């Protein structure tokens, strides 16, 4: 039985980065042998085990054979006879197909270390075509490693796969899994640029194609980046793209707030007071002024800090005044009275 560190941990170490999660492959062992040694089995689709002390993941060396369309349409074969080279050969990119022994020696049958030095994202081999998720993974690595280029042969494979409709086989949840990582990358626009060049914008990203030309402001969180991507879309388009890629509700809802209300709030001093009051109410600011904070923070990072001065204070004062007032109206009449009071407070602040 031999164990090797594999995948992203090795890649990141060679790039001088800290490896967050370490994965291991086990050659020459059976599932029963690992269980006897105290490893806990967790893999449902193929044999993956947790180390009894470190709780890091150890997978039996395996091969995969395409058996049906889609990301999960594979027959997995794991046995003591599967070699390390065979296991590495099923991986997506050469830079992710490097192994390291426990003593620190590299095992690199596909030239991944050389591609790391050259800054090249290259498919390990023709089996790349069997998994449509790899199209998105390559584009995602282009966003995470902005100094790297995608090898020409790999680009052609991705183009052919997209032309055959391979991306349509993916469930939205897997698409969002890649997008969530892109949101935290240093160059998210490269994700869409690579997809645009290989014909991979459809069926998930049609509304977002122009993002490849955008420069995201510095300091944005993942939620803020996603909202920035969607800022020029209609609310209908935001809902559509989020539905297809299964974006979490909190990302969708914040993007919708930005689309519907950011322009009004960013220029609140010049806007009709009733319009401003309606936007504040829609964001929830009159229920709890702190609900304004995410949108205001987003706008400040976009460069609207001076225009936003005092807006939250106005809302806080208005909320206190309304809570102290005794309104006799009910139903729609009460709503109209509250809107009038809120608009009057905004008008007064605009005049200062």
Question: What's the full length of the chain, in residues?
Answer: 352
Q: Which three-class secondary structure string do you get for 47-103?
A: CEEECCCCCCEEEECEEEEECCCCCCCEEEEECCCCCHHHHHHCCCEHHHCCEEECC
Cα torsion through 184, 187, 190, 191, rounded to 10: 0
> Cα separation of 225 and 216, whole Å?
7
* pLDDT at position 69: 67
> Cα separation of 1 and 180, whole Å?
37
> Cα separation of 138 and 140, whole Å?
5
* pLDDT at position 324: 87
- Domain residues of the chain, as ranges? 1-110, 255-351
Q: Which residues pair with 106 in a beta bridge?
A: 100
Select from 129, 111, 130, 131 the least CA-distant residue to 121.
111
Using alpha carbons, list the distances in angstroms from residue 340 to 37, 89, 343: 73, 68, 5
Superfamily classification of domain 1-110 = Beta Polymerase, domain 2 (3.30.460.10)
This prediction's pTM? 0.89
* pLDDT at position 239: 97
* pLDDT at position 46: 72
* pLDDT at position 232: 92
In a structure prediction context, what are the per-residue pLDDT tens digits for the chain, which is 352 residues long? 899 999 999 999 999 998 778 999 999 999 999 999 999 998 666 789 999 999 999 999 998 876 666 656 667 888 899 999 999 999 999 999 999 999 999 999 999 999 999 999 999 998 899 999 999 999 999 999 999 999 999 999 999 999 999 999 999 999 999 999 999 999 999 999 999 999 999 999 999 988 887 778 778 999 999 999 999 999 999 999 999 999 999 999 999 999 999 999 999 999 999 999 999 999 999 999 999 999 999 999 988 777 787 899 999 999 999 988 888 888 999 999 999 999 999 999 998 8
Place of tokens 């009449």: 333
> Cα separation of 97 and 199, whole Å?
26
Segment (H or E) for 188: none
* pLDDT at position 65: 75
């Amino acid at each position: 039985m031999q164990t090797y560190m594999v995948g992203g941990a090795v890649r990141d170490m060679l790039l001088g980065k800290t490896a967050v999660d370490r994965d291991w492959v086990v050659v020459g062992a059976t599932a029963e042998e690992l269980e006897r040694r105290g490893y806990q089995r967790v893999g449902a689709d193929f044999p993956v085990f947790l180390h009894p002390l470190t709780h890091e993941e150890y997978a039996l060396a395996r091969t995969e054979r395409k058996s049906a369309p889609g990301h999960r349409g594979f027959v997995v074969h794991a046995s003591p006879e599967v070699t390390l080279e065979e296991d590495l050969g099923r991986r997506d990119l050469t830079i992710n197909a490097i192994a390291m022994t426990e003593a620190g020696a590299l095992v690199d049958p596909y030239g991944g270390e050389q591609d790391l030095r050259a800054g090249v994202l290259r498919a390990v081999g023709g089996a790349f075509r069997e998994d449509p998720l790899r199209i998105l993974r390559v584009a995602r690595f282009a966003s995470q490693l902005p100094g790297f280029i995608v090898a020409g042969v790999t680009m052609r494979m991705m183009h052919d796969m997209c032309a055959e409709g391979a991306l349509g086989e993916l469930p939205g949840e897997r698409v969002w899994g890649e997008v969530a990582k892109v949101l935290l990358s240093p160059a998210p626009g490269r994700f869409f640029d690579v997809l645009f060049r290989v014909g991979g914008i459809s069926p998930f990203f049609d509304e977002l194609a122009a993002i490849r030309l955008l420069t995201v402001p510095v300091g944005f969180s993942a939620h803020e980046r996603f909202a920035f991507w969607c800022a020029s879309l209609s609310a209908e388009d935001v809902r559509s793209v989020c539905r297809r890629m299964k974006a979490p509700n909190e990302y969708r809802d914040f993007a919708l707030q930005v689309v519907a209300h950011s322009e009004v709030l960013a220029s609140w001093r010049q806007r009709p007071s009733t319009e401003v009051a309606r936007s504040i109410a829609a964001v929830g600011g009159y229920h709890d002024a702190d609900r304004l904070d995410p949108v205001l923070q987003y706008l400040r990072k976009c460069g609207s800090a001076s225009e936003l001065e005092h807006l939250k204070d106005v809302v806080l004062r208005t909320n206190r005044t309304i809570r102290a007032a005794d309104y006799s109206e009910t139903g729609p009449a009460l709503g109209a009275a509250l809107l009038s009071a809120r608009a009057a407070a905004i008008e007064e602040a605009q005049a200062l």
